[in-house]
Amino acid sequence: MESIIASNIRRIRATIPAGVKYVVVSKYRPVEQLQAAYNAGERIFAESRPAELAQKVQQLPSDIQWHFIGHLQTNKLKLVLPHCSLVQSVDSIHLMEAIEKFAAANGLQVNILVEVHVGAEETKQGFSAERTLEFFESGEYEAFGHINFCGLMGMASHTDDNERIASDFRTMQELFQTISASKKKPAHFQELSIGMSQDYMIALRYGATMVRIGSASFQLD
Ligand SMILES: *Cc1c(COP(=O)(O)O)cnc(C)c1O
């Protein structure tokens, strides 16, 4: 009998176009559940806590691509950067500077997304759309020689209002397209990470290249 997780994943997979990356958000899940997702064919997992990530990396197959999606404190970089193929949640210049320093000292080239704050929530981490545009169009990012700026990550407002969610994703898409069309587009800039379990079908309409799906991947009913 197919496991529940395998059937969740098969059902979700069928809704994601080829060429869009399915990031299985595995934070707080036990390794057995990650192994079930791996056995179902998934290879991109995302974690939000440094110690939990570092531990899971040791316990699971080495061909997994690990993404980091949580708030990252600068004293935790050594638990995260050596293991991650992408840090999606870079939410401040301070963090970028710390990543640059760590990467230079350790001979790493680190792939990141800039986390953009578009939702209604006041306290959300991340850069405003205006600041993000300025950061790229001014060439400010070029000071970070050990960071590959691979794109943008954002979350829609936490609401049931699909119009509001669509409007947030449209803002992300327009920002992504503006930077992509700019003379100052970074060499690796290609990913738009928007959409989670509840809203990824909307995000796909607004150009998501990557969706981050946790609870729907692992739900047990
Ligand atoms: C937890 C989390 C997700 C996954 O959310 P679900 O609603 O469980 O799909 C996606 N992105 C980020 C940044 C998260 O923290």
Place of tokens 């990467």: 103
- For residue 200, the ligand 1 atom closest to its alpha carbon is 9
Q: Which residues line ligand 1 (CB under 6 A)?
A: 25, 27, 48, 69, 196-198, 212-216
pLDDT tens for each residue of the chain, 221 residues long: 569 999 999 999 999 999 999 999 999 999 999 999 999 999 999 999 999 999 999 999 999 999 999 999 999 999 999 999 999 999 999 999 999 999 999 999 999 999 999 987 776 679 999 999 999 999 999 999 999 999 999 999 999 999 999 999 999 999 999 999 999 999 999 999 999 999 999 999 999 999 999 999 999 87
Instruction: Kindly give, in sequence order, each residue whose CB lies less than 8 Å from that of residue 148, ignoring residues fewer than 6 positions away.
Output: 109, 110, 111, 112, 186, 187, 188
Q: What amino acid occupies position 179?
A: I
Of ligand 1's listed atoms, the one at least distance from the Cα of 196 is 9
